[in-house]
Amino acid sequence: MDSASVAHGAAPDGITGEGPSSAHPPESSSSPAAAGAAPPPPSRYESQKRRDWNTFLQYLKNHKPPLTLARCSGAHVIEFLKYLDQFGKTKVHISGCPYFGHPNPPAPCACPLKQAWGSLDALIGRLRAAYEENGGRPESNPFGARAVRIYLREVREGQAKARGIPYEKKKRKSNC
Ligand SMILES: [Zn+2]
């Protein structure tokens, strides 16, 4: 057993979610003091959710051909998730890489960096909530679409294999 030094438990890879860092617009002062009684500052989750929502709206705005929220489907959400991969920081080995399936490769390789499954899963949760908070109807919520769930499951399984992480084993307490 290596009971040696577990002191500084690092946060699990990816979940800290800074989002696609490179391209968020400067949030300048858009007078928050609208409704009197200075509201408390938003929680980290709330501000992350707002940032994610703005990122998505920006994505729609730049989409070619133009896309409105009302016409957005699960397929567009998946397209958005794939677009975000370019900002990812998680090495996902391709099947031809000698380190495919190695949790701790001994040397660097040229495989692409992608968004970790955990980050995408959390992101979809936030966007799904934001969609309804912004007036979207639950039954037409593209972030809750079946295709998106299936895509996320494929990403999880693919990354687990490529990175040698047995996600399944974490579930052994509740075997269903
Ligand atoms: Zn590799």
Measured in Å, residue 34 CA sits from the centre of ligand 1 at 51
- Give the pair of three-digit tokens for residue 39: 């509201």
The residue-averaged pLDDT of 66-86 equals 96
What contacts 142, CB < 8 A, 6 or more positions away?
Answer: 72, 73, 74, 76, 77, 131, 148
Measured in Å, residue 96 CA sits from the centre of ligand 1 at 8
Segment among 27-36, 67-76, 91-100 with least mean pLDDT? 27-36
- Look up residue 150 and give its DSSP letter: H
Measured in Å, residue 101 CA sits from the centre of ligand 1 at 9
Per residue in 12-25, pLDDT tens? 444 444 444 444 44
Per residue in 36-69, pLDDT tens? 677 788 899 999 999 999 999 999 999 999 899 9
Question: What number does CATH give the domain 43-167?
Answer: 1.10.150
